[in-house]
Amino acid sequence: MAFGEGFKHMDTFEQLEDGNYRAKIIKAELKNGSYGDYMQVEVEIEGHPKANPHIFLLNDSPKKGFGSYTLEDALEMWNRTMTQFFTSFAIPEGDFVPAHWVGKVGDVTVRPQKKKPEYSELVPYKLKVKKPAADKKPVSTHTDNNNADAFPEDVPDIF
């Protein structure tokens, strides 16, 4: 048999449409990057076992402000994000042990990235996704359905 003989194209991932999905955490791993520690969380989307995107990142608590945001503001935004994550996946607040997260099921949203809207991102809690006119990209706004604290959409992507 010659090298490459028998090759057949195989799609490896299903590109998800923007919207809300149920997801089960299958892997959570603490990593270190240029901006500090973060948790890389891999999920399996219900009904879409080979979905893309299927990974989201959770940054560690900020140690300083960001842009025009003070450290206090940055910590408040981070605490809201983590509260939304814990609530969505029914993880006890403050449980930062990744092994405890595996197997938990929660709500996630696929939406266009803010900085590069031609790409999608996975948000680890449920957002209300408005369906735009056919010639426009979807716009995401937060809903506090199943979540006590609303998280405003105008907060920059610093976490």
The helix (H) or strand (E) run that includes residue 78 is helix 71-88
What is the length of the chain?
159
pTM greater than the 0.95 cutoff: no
- Residue spans of the domains in the chain: they are 14-142
Per-residue pLDDT tens for 81-90? 999 999 999 9
What pLDDT is stored for residue 148 in this prediction? Answer: 39
d(CA 156, CA 81): 12
CB atoms within 10 A of CB 28: 19
Paired residues of 45 in beta bridges: 23, 48
Task: Quickly count: other Cβ atoms within 10 Å of residue 11's Cβ.
Answer: 7
Strand 55-59 relative to strand 105-112, pairing = unpaired
Residue-level pLDDT at 104: 97
Q: Report, as ranges of residue numbers, the positions in the chain whose pLDDT lies below 70.
A: 1, 11, 130-159
